[in-house]
Amino acid sequence: QKEVEQDPGPLSVPEGAIVSLNCTYSNSAFQYFMWYRQYSRKGPELLMYTYSSGNKEDGRFTAQVDKSSKYISLFIRDSQPSDSATYLCAMKSGATNKLIFGTGTLLAVQP
C-alpha cells in the first residue's frame, strides 16, 4: 500500500463548478502538506502549502488538512478552463526533506 493515496480521475466538471480533490495518507509523521498543479509536459508548480492541521485560503483555492483522519483536500471555487491540469498532493515529515507524492488527479474544466 502506498503512503499517499489519490484518485487519479479523470474528473470532468463544467466551468464555474466547485472542485473537490483529496488525498489520504498512512504516515502519521507527515507534518507538511502541499498541493502542486502540473500542466501537460511541464514541471509541478506549488499551489498551496499547509503546516499541520487546519485550513488555508488563497483566492479561489482552499486547502484543508485533517490529521486525525489522515485526509487532505483542495477546493477550487469558480473553476475555469485554465484550471485543467493534473493536481498532485505531496507531503513530508519533519525528519526528511523528500516529498512523497500522490499519483495526481487529472482535472478537466469544460467551457
Partner 1 sequence: GAGVSQSPRYKVAKRGQDVALRCDPISGHVSLFWYQQALGQGPEFLTYFQNEAQLDKSGLPSDRFFAERPEGSVSTLKIQRTQQEDSAVYLCASSLGERVTQYFGPGTRLLVL
Residue in the structure block whose three cell numbers are 487529472: 106
Q: Which of 6, 64, 79, 84 binds partner 1 (CB under 8 A)?
A: 6
At residue 24's C-alpha, the angle toward residues 27 and 29, to 5°, is 20
Cα-Cα-Cα-Cα dihedral sign, residues 71, 76, 79, 82: negative
Which residues within the stretch 10-29 sit at the binding site for partner 1 (CB under 8 A)? none
Distance of CA 59 to the CA centre of its chain: 15
Which residues within the stretch 26-65 sit at the binding site for partner 1 (CB under 8 A)? 32, 34, 36, 41-46, 49, 51
Q: Quick one: which segment of 11-19, 54-62, 68-76, 94-102 binds partner 1 (CB under 8 A)?
A: 94-102
Q: Which three cell numbers stand for residue 14?
A: 463544467
Site residues (CB under 8 A) for partner 1? Answer: 4, 6, 8, 32, 34, 36, 41-46, 49, 51, 88, 90, 92, 96-104
